[in-house]
Amino acid sequence: MKKILRKTATLRDTLFMEHDPGFGHPESPQRLKVINDVLEREEFENFFINPPIKPAPRAVIALNHDKALINRVEETAGNTFDSLDSDTTTSPQSCAAATLAVGALTTGVDLLIKGSIDNAFSLVRPPGHHAERNKSMGFCLYNNVAVAARYAISHHGLKRVMIVDWDVHHGNGTQESFYETDKVLYVSTHQFPFYPGSGNTMETGRGRGEGYTVNIPLPGYQGDADYATIFNKIIKPIGSEYKPELILVSCGFDIYKDDPLGSMEVTAEGFAYLTRSMVQLAEEVCDGKLMLTLEGGYDFTGQRDGALAVLSELSGRSLDVGFSINFNVNAVDKLAGAHSVHPAINQAEEVAKKSWKL
């Protein structure tokens, strides 16, 4: 079968490398450098659209964050070192990078809604999904994906946005942002119990948001087949029923098999399959409008290979770069028929059945 080539944007800027949490911190600039080094190769020059991005205005960031938090983040600008919580530290350009990260995602939303691109991967730092309305935490200054969802609703009139979060950590900030609304469906797979401690199966939303938070907590050591089963049996069917007008993905490569901060076992083939699943769902329900954004991931090989697997599936191109990313396409295809009976998956499915037709 001939692959369909898509107009895929990579939302990138050198400023994202300027955010430096300090020596020995796992959220280092090198996480992004290993991806950019490959994308800047001459042979990939015309593979992706690289649109210009601008910093998000305060008013846009304020769609999801209160004034006190924005002021606090802005206070760090130019400071050699500042600390927003025990593991969230900043350098002189961190505020500028965080503001541009939000701007990257809102730019992606604009381009998707206008039809200028088919899909996008926002390769930004710092990450965002732990940041709450009034608190930066967990390496995150602003919640990039939450602001993007609110922006899509407020500026483009969308009524249904789906956020899928496959980072190894639960996106407590994203869940908090939309816990009481049906305008955003938040679905998270994550290791549990693990930082930040939220995300059990019974956290399903409140009021109008009841059922629109779906948590799939996992004990660890789940691999490609387990994740494929989750996406095939739970996430895609829920998405098909919800029919979002836009799909956003918090893409954490810390579920990679060698990541030092997690104990999952996902490979490059697994990341390709998860992306393929989201591409298929987006094409089914929202004309392909899909944007992934970089969250965690602390093994450099996992970052590089995972990102290239994602971009291969988003664009429909084979990114032959001469190392382990030359993943087995047959192995990716076989994941469509994967069937894991892990108790944690079955439990999450039973809870989700109370709100969705699974």
| Beta strands at 82-85 and 88-90: parallel, antiparallel or unpaired | antiparallel
- Measured CA to CA, the distance from residue 26 to residue 17 in angstroms comes to 14
Q: Which runs of consecutive H residues, i.e. helices, occur in 198-342?
A: 224-230, 236-242, 268-285, 300-315, 329-334
- Measured CA to CA, the distance from residue 27 to residue 19 in angstroms comes to 9
Residue 5 buriedness (CB in 10 A; 0-12 / 13-18 / 19+) = exposed
C-beta of residue 138 within 8 angstroms of C-beta of residue 308:
no
- Can you spell out the DSSP letters for 112-143? HHHTS-SEEEE--SS--TT-BTTB-BTTBSS-
Q: Which helix (H) or strand (E) holds 249?
A: strand 246-251
User: How many CA atoms are closer than 13 Å to the CA of 2, on its beta-carbon side?
Assistant: 3
The active-site residue out of 19, 65, 129, 130 is 130
Catalytic residue check, 130 = yes
Q: Which two tokens stand for residue 19?
A: 């955010």
CB-CB neighbours of 65 under 10 Å: 28
Q: Catalytic site residues?
A: 130
